[in-house]
Structure 1
């Protein structure tokens, strides 16, 4: 049945929909002032502020990104640098000021928590499309937005372990190809996390590229919640290449 659904989806295959969803958020260059709010099950919260710079290279197949935490004092200066490739494993580094040392993050750590949040290191970059299998489910609405619904499964156990899920259900806006919602199933096949995008903005109006304004990840098991807000987004295609080095990462400014 599902093999014939591609015709009903405007001629696109499930993998092509996923590819278009990735392309819709690959922005030539950007500077962002952001915050990450981490909520405990009891409602207590911690707010972490950060700056993010990113730039595309190699005709869009590589995105370099530097995240620098600026507040509060216990995380100030902590930095995260990623080289996000579309066709191969990403390169990731984290700098911890207290240790005065940059550490490379290996693939086996991708499923671990990013800075104590419900987001993982894997969530900070784009997965290789070829690492997963895709299947259309029935279209659904997320709010007022009609969405493709994709069932995404890792092709093997290693990929599943590295990404921390056995299955992902993604809801992708049929009009602008932006992900609106995703449900993650853990390695035991249980529903574990749910991500929602409640606000987006068009950053590059010429090529119709978008970025989220607010994204929430809820852990359905432990009831923790993390909210990422991009409060200020500046389209900067000419951003300096000097940002994207481990030397800059270690400057902590």
Structure 2
């Protein structure tokens, strides 16, 4: 009996020690921020460094392909779905933005519609929309990029890549985001004709990936929230979200993007990202 009591006491003591050790280490494990970040006393430099770290961890993929499903939900809860193909070409020297081509495959009434984007750092992005019904390539003007993309809650500018130099940054705080800790930074577009005055961005301190973005309109009112979910690691280096959820707080509508079939370094070249390639995309 004495041995049983001693064993139970020893087990309880070990459990208590393990719990205490976990509690001691948990903040450090969850808040493993990148080394060398500027101090919180310099929020602008700290915010810019966090954005640079996010960018640095996503280099070297070259080109990529993926399949995407777009699910539109109106304020009444009714849904409709669209299927797309997505291609990207990396600007490896980071002197300018990446290129992308998005093509609708279903439903039939929108099949063949394609959006080509050349992202830039300080200048307005170049974007062209191919409309198969009129067999015409339409250039999207810089003043119209805040408009909705093909009836979704994503604006044309939301499909531009997030080059570091496109924004001014400010670190706001660190806080819990789900089971992780996130740096919360504010970024303000430096390019003209943005539909947003500012964005609040949550970047996790472990993998430095986006977790959430709040978008504020030109009246500085919260307009939309984008959440990133179901991340997966590809080629042991490149993190990609499996799902993006955009909620419009004014209309009550949502758009969900579901990604699958990511492939990298597939041999895409600049010839695959021209206005002429828009008509061939279908």
Distance 1:239 1:81 in 2: 14
In the alignment, is the contact (CA less than 8 A) between 2:121 and 2:166 conserved in 1? no
Taking structure 1 as the reference length, the TM-score comes to 0.87
**Does 1:234 pair with 2:247?**
no
Which residue in 2 is equivalent to 1:20? Answer: 53
Which residue in 2 is equivalent to 1:110? Answer: 145
How big is the shift at 1:186?
A: 1.5
User: Which of 72, 76, 86 is residue 42 of structure 1 equivalent to?
Assistant: 76
Distance 1:240 1:182 in 2: 31
Higher alpha-carbon deviation: 83-92 or 94-103: 83-92
Taking structure 2 as the reference length, the TM-score comes to 0.79
**Does 1:7 pair with 2:36?**
no
Please show how residues 218-229 of structure 1 align to structure 2 within 5 Å.
218-229=247-258
Distance 1:141 1:187 in 2: 29
Spell out, residue by residue over 1:54-76, the C-alpha distance to the aligned partner (whole angstroms, 9 max, x if none).
11135244422111100000110
Higher alpha-carbon deviation: 19-28 or 88-97: 19-28
SS in 1 for 2:108: coil
How big is the shift at 1:90?
A: 1.9
Which structure features the higher share of strand residues? 1
In the alignment, is the contact (CA less than 8 A) between 1:97 and 1:252 conserved in 2? no
**Does 1:178 pair with 2:209?**
yes
Spell out, residue by residue over 1:23-79, the C-alpha distance to the aligned partner (whole angstroms, 9 max, x if none).
444532111011111100011111110001111135244422111100000110001
Equivalenced residues, count:
243
User: Which of 182, 187, 190 is residue 218 of structure 2 equivalent to?
Assistant: 187
In the alignment, is the contact (CA less than 8 A) between 1:22 and 1:126 conserved in 2? no
Distance 1:72 1:151 in 2: 38
**Does 1:95 pair with 2:121?**
no
Distance 1:69 1:31 in 2: 14
Distance 1:23 1:214 in 2: 22
SS in 2 for 1:18: helix
Distance 1:135 1:242 in 2: 38
In the alignment, is the contact (CA less than 8 A) between 1:34 and 1:230 conserved in 2? yes
User: Which of 209, 216, 220 is residue 238 of structure 2 equivalent to?
Assistant: 209
SS in 1 for 2:119: strand
Distance 1:240 1:187 in 2: 37
How big is the shift at 1:203?
A: 2.9
Which structure features the higher share of helix residues? 2
SS in 1 for 2:208: coil
SS in 2 for 1:57: coil
In the alignment, is the contact (CA less than 8 A) between 2:130 and 2:279 conserved in 1? yes
In the alignment, is the contact (CA less than 8 A) between 1:55 and 1:237 conserved in 2? no
Measured at CA, do residues 25 and 48 of structure 1 come closer, stay the same or move farther in structure 2, by a change above 3 Å?
farther
Structure 1 residues not aligned, in runs of 5+: none
How big is the shift at 1:151?
A: 1.4
Which residue in 1 is equivalent to 2:3? Answer: none
Question: What is the root-mean-square deviation in Å for CA atoms of aligned residues?
Answer: 2.3
